[in-house]
Chain A
Amino acid sequence: DQQVKQNSPSLSVQEGRISILNCDYTNSMFDYFLWYKKYPAEGPTFLISISSIKDKNEDGRFTVFLNKSAKHLSLHIVPSQPGDSAVYFCAASVGNMLTFGGGTRLMVKP
């Protein structure tokens, strides 16, 4: 039973446009959400996070939105750059555990 799901395995976006990556979860006890970015042959690197008491967190070109009633979060990247091409994982935590989604491969075309 996947508690965190990323239903789009891949996404292709033109450079300069907005990238929107989506994530759904089922466990209402999750209280913290994170996005990680992963390049090939490297470990995931932390990107941005949001507490369940907020609905938006922004950091430069990256914004994470949380809709608790829908159990949905999204990552917006604007403007998208070719260097953003990577696999993006959402993760959710309760207590000491992180549960990851399956990842979405983002390709930003020049």
Chain B
Amino acid sequence: GAGVSQSPSNKVTEKGKDVELRCDPISGHTALYWYRQSLGQGLEFLIYFQGNSAPDKSGLPSDRFSAERTGGSVSTLTIQRTQQEDSAVYLCASSLVAGGPNEQFFGPGTRLTVL
């Protein structure tokens, strides 16, 4: 596809359940980022992948959050034992390479609601 795609677009789950969110970056982009945007808040960095390097997990809010990127392309963000405060829009972005001048292209996001 031409842009970054994410699935599902909406996810409603019950507290305590696990969820998986998927991101398909732009083909050829080596850097992939996950952010989340809580209601009324800015974008909060979660994790980023650059090529085959170990991911930068410094933004993950707890050990319930994890992400992987298979084959340098598709990424999944997993949230275990979801809590109500995990409700947010989860955004994925990719860029050709990591770094300032390389603008990030965002997907439409997955809106997660934890009941």
Contact = CB atoms under 8 A, between A and B. Distances in A.
B31 A96 contact: yes
Nearest to A92: B100
Contacts of B98: 95-96
Given A43-B93, A49-B101, A49-B103, A97 B45 contact: yes
Contacts, number: 61
Contacts of B44: 100
Interface residues of B, number: 25
Interface in B14-61: 31, 33, 35, 41-45, 48, 50, 56
A5 B33 CA distance: 21
B100 A41 contact: no
B108 interface: yes
Interface string A1-21: 000101000000000000000
B42 A94 contact: no
A43 B100 contact: no
Contacts of B43: 44, 89, 91, 100
Contacts of A99: 45
Interface of A: 4, 6, 31-32, 34, 36, 41-46, 49, 51, 89, 91, 93-103
8 contacts: A46-B104, A46-B105, A96-B48, A96-B50, A96-B98, A98-B45, A100-B35, A100-B45
